Amino acid sequence: MGFAKLADTALMRIGQLCLFLMLLSLLLIVGIVVLRGAPALTAEMITQTPKGGFYLGGGGGVLNAIVGSLCLAFGAVILAMVAALPIAVVLQKEYSRGAEWARIARFALDLLWGIPSIVYGAFGFLLMVWLGWGMSLGAGIVTLALVILPVMVRTMEEVLASIPRSVMEPSFALGATRLETISMAITRQALPALSVACLLAFGRAIGDAASVLFTAGYTDYIPGSLSEPAASLPLAVFFQLGSPGKEVQDRAYASALILLAVVLAITLLARRLGGRFEKSIIR
Amino acid sequence: MADERIRIKWVHGLDLRKLADGACLRLGQAFAVCAIILLAAIAAGLFFKSLPVLTNARSDAFFSDNWHPSMGEFGIFPFVVGTISTTVVAMFLAAPLCLFAAIYLSEYAGRKVRENAGLLIEVLAGVPSVIFGLWGILFVVPLVRDVIGPWFGTPTSGFSILSAGIVLALMVAPIIVSLSVEVMRGVPKAMREASLGLGATRAQTVWKVILPESRNGLVAAVVLGFSRAIGETMAVMMVVGNVPGYPKGIFDPAYPLTALIANNYGEMMSLPLYDSALMLAALVLLFVVLVFNLIARGVLRSMQGASRGGKNASKAIKIR
């Protein structure tokens, strides 16, 4: 019996240790980025675009990357939402009970979900060449939208499916069509959770670098239109880190701090909102 | 006359509503079909773009190890080895770590601990790849160079397969842990209670009841983690060294497929067949990832009917 007890405690301690290691690593990541980034984070960093000789230690900031990233992520979320919401709606039982096309679409979305973003990037590049576009904000938005589409459909589908039947049945009983039921009765219930889904997709889009590397390119200027290249924060970190010179690398840490702060804020906000909205949903 | 009026009302009222309903269904279906086409288009596009290098007589692109773009030789095999080695090291580190953590969270920890750990794991999952890479350069690479390397008596620059493995392991940990916890929580409570009621310790229950019951789901979780690790780009590229060739050990640098694509996109239009070779690299990645996903989902699907663990896990996959 002594051995069994010992093994029991040991298993618990090992589990705790493993969990602790993971959380310690998270703490280290945040700690290192804050410690190294905070001293280099000046007002100039977030209010100015790079000036001449920026990558050799000249003046300026990463406003181009901040604006570029926001444009890319916003555009991608809006574009993906336009496609994801109708898909999520028609994958509901009311529309597609047991239909073969729905089964195949679900399967395809599952597989799309697993494709790495660099492959999307390569595909986006092919698409871009085929359409005759250059590296541009528009191409980046389209590629990013493809990256976040599967996860968005999945979350939205899940949200819509979690709405209880008792909310829909009165609506059907009053003679409303499926569209009316979904657009009027269900969205009231699901809108908060749907916006959380968009928020999470936004966080994912803003941190993704491999797909925009090919398609949005990188530039020192704020994009003026969809056909101009756009910078992004992850790539700003990457390129600055790759340059020699301590000042430039310090800026990479500062850019990383900005990126991390945005992403953490989004994750925590989504969590808070998700928790709060769950309470107000009728079950 | 009266009939006419009723007819018009009917057209303007009910019929329009029905029409809108039908239109919405068609729109959604069209988008859903687009998703299917997208998958096919990605595979077909990459395949046709990589055909020129596959049919090129000068070099056997798959199994050759000569990578000299300027001479028209595009052997991607060393890069495949680079991808495999970093991923395997990552999974050797991540699988035990994550499974033990998941066992603790599922079987030992209380509700409060589980929820708080869940939040932190969610945060970890949201950290962008490039920041993992930054952490890798600032922390993992010096750790490998100054501590782990000398410990094993191997001089190393730190930019190595091991560093990439450590960074990758942490990156895939959230998905493996959260899926594993879902799977284990899905084992019916009655089974757990029966075992504990017979006087078994929790460790014995885990070993004899929980693990056998949730084995398939755990395998699926690790396989999905694997497929994530294969496709990781930025973080790996920043710490792995990017030296083409066959690595001799885990302290050597390597050059995975993802890094190959990301590092060379700028020059790929400048040499003949270069773009084709990079697209072949993307195609290989796509193929491997799809196969892994099919395996994992097949395992989960087969479980779905059998136990609640599978159902929970596939739900968790949908959400994440």
Between A185-199, B53-67, B262-276, the lowest mean confidence (pLDDT) is in: B53-67
pLDDT score of B299: 81
B97/A18 touch (CB, cutoff 8 Å), yes or no:
yes
Residues 6+ apart with CB under 8 A from A203: A262, A263, A266, A267, A270, B126
pLDDT score of A169: 84
Between A144-148, A163-167, B63-67, B117-121, the lowest mean confidence (pLDDT) is in: B63-67
| Residue of A6, A18, A257 to mutate for B, most B C-beta atoms under 10 A | A18
Nearest CA in chain B to A156: B319
Q: What is the 3-state secondary structure (H, E, C) of B120-185?
A: HHHHHHHCCHHHHHHHHHHHHHHHHHHHHHHHCCCCCCCCCHHHHHHHHHHHHHHHHHHHHHHHHH
A112 interaction partners in chain B (CB closer than 8 Å): 35, 38-39
The pLDDT tens digits for B217-241 are 898 899 989 888 999 988 999 999 8
The arithmetic mean of pLDDT across residues A76-104, rounded, is: 86
Between A150-154, A259-263, B69-73, B85-89, the lowest mean confidence (pLDDT) is in: B69-73
* Sign of the alpha-carbon dihedral angle for A120, A126, A132, A136: positive
B45/A127 touch (CB, cutoff 8 Å), yes or no:
yes
- Tell me how close the Cα of A179 comes to any Cα of chain B, in angstroms: 5
Average pLDDT, chain A: 86
- Scored b (16 or more CB within 10 A) or e, A6-44 reads ebbeebbebbbebbeebbebbeebbebbeebbeebbeee
B234 interaction partners in chain A (CB closer than 8 Å): 209-210, 234, 238
A117/B231 touch (CB, cutoff 8 Å), yes or no:
yes
A7 interaction partners in chain B (CB closer than 8 Å): 201, 203-204
pLDDT score of B2: 46
In this predicted structure, the answer to whether residue B310 has a pLDDT above a threshold of 70 is: no
Please give the share of chain B, as a percent, with pLDDT higher than 70: 88
A116/B265 touch (CB, cutoff 8 Å), yes or no:
no
The arithmetic mean of pLDDT across residues B275-298, rounded, is: 89
B224 interaction partners in chain A (CB closer than 8 Å): 114
Asked whether B259 and A116 are in contact (CB, 8 A), the reply is no
In this predicted structure, the answer to whether residue B313 has a pLDDT above a threshold of 70 is: no
A122/B261 touch (CB, cutoff 8 Å), yes or no:
yes
A207 interaction partners in chain B (CB closer than 8 Å): 126-131
Block residue for tokens 């991808």: B83
Nearest CA in chain B to A31: B135
Nearest CA in chain A to B98: A18
Structure tokens at B22: 């039908």
In this predicted structure, the answer to whether residue A19 has a pLDDT above a threshold of 60 is: yes
In this predicted structure, the answer to whether residue B302 has a pLDDT above a threshold of 70 is: yes
Between A72-76, A208-212, B37-41, B271-275, the lowest mean confidence (pLDDT) is in: B271-275
A256/B134 touch (CB, cutoff 8 Å), yes or no:
yes
The reported pTM is 0.88
More confident residue, A91 or B163: B163
A26/B127 touch (CB, cutoff 8 Å), yes or no:
yes
Nearest CA in chain B to A22: B170
* Greatest mean pLDDT among A230-234, B72-76, B305-309: A230-234
The arithmetic mean of pLDDT across residues B282-311, rounded, is: 77
Entry field: residues in chain B: 320
Q: Which residues pair with B74 in a beta bridge?
A: B67
pLDDT score of B271: 76
- Tell me how close the Cα of A51 comes to any Cα of chain B, in angstroms: 23
The pLDDT tens digits for B59-118 are 666 667 777 777 777 888 889 899 999 999 999 999 999 999 999 999 998 889 988 898
| Residue of B168, B184, B234 to mutate for A, most A C-beta atoms under 10 A | B234
The arithmetic mean of pLDDT across residues A151-161, rounded, is: 86
Q: Residue B319's pLDDT band (boundaries 50, 70, 90)?
A: very low
B97/A21 touch (CB, cutoff 8 Å), yes or no:
yes
How many pairs of residues across A and B have Cβ atoms under 8 Å apart? 265
- Helix (H) / strand (E) element for A69: namely helix A63-90
B24/A36 touch (CB, cutoff 8 Å), yes or no:
no
| Residue B241, phi then psi, degrees to nearest 5 | 100, -35
Nearest CA in chain B to A242: B238
The pLDDT tens digits for B5-19 are 444 445 555 577 888
Nearest CA in chain A to B295: A111
More confident residue, B20 or B286: B286
DSSP-derived secondary structure for A50-66: --TTGGGT-S--SHHHH
| Residue of B17, B46, B134 to mutate for A, most A C-beta atoms under 10 A | B134
- Tell me how close the Cα of A58 comes to any Cα of chain B, in angstroms: 22
A271/B234 touch (CB, cutoff 8 Å), yes or no:
no
* Prediction ipTM score: 0.89
pLDDT score of B1: 41
In this predicted structure, the answer to whether residue A16 has a pLDDT above a threshold of 60 is: yes
pLDDT score of A247: 81
- Tell me how close the Cα of A87 comes to any Cα of chain B, in angstroms: 5
Of B129, B135, B293, the CB nearest to A28: B135
pLDDT score of A282: 57
pLDDT score of B130: 93
Average pLDDT, chain B: 84
B292/A207 touch (CB, cutoff 8 Å), yes or no:
no
Of A119, A203, A213, the CB nearest to B231: A119
Asked whether A89 and B34 are in contact (CB, 8 A), the reply is no
- Tell me how close the Cα of B97 comes to any Cα of chain A, in angstroms: 5
B233/A117 touch (CB, cutoff 8 Å), yes or no:
yes
Ramachandran sector of residue A60 (left: φ over 0; alpha: ψ -120 to 50; beta: rest): left
Nearest Cα residue to B309 out of B106, B120, B112: B106
- Tell me how close the Cα of B28 comes to any Cα of chain A, in angstroms: 4
In this predicted structure, the answer to whether residue B307 has a pLDDT above a threshold of 60 is: no
B295 CB neighbour count, 10 Å cutoff:
16
- Tell me how close the Cα of B208 comes to any Cα of chain A, in angstroms: 13
More confident residue, B83 or A274: B83
Nearest CA in chain B to A83: B31
pLDDT score of A184: 79
Nearest CA in chain A to B114: A19
In this predicted structure, the answer to whether residue B248 has a pLDDT above a threshold of 90 is: no
- Tell me how close the Cα of A154 comes to any Cα of chain B, in angstroms: 6
A22/B177 touch (CB, cutoff 8 Å), yes or no:
yes
pLDDT score of B6: 46
Please give the share of chain A, as a percent, with pLDDT higher than 70: 95
Asked whether A216 and A135 are in contact (CB, 8 A), the reply is yes
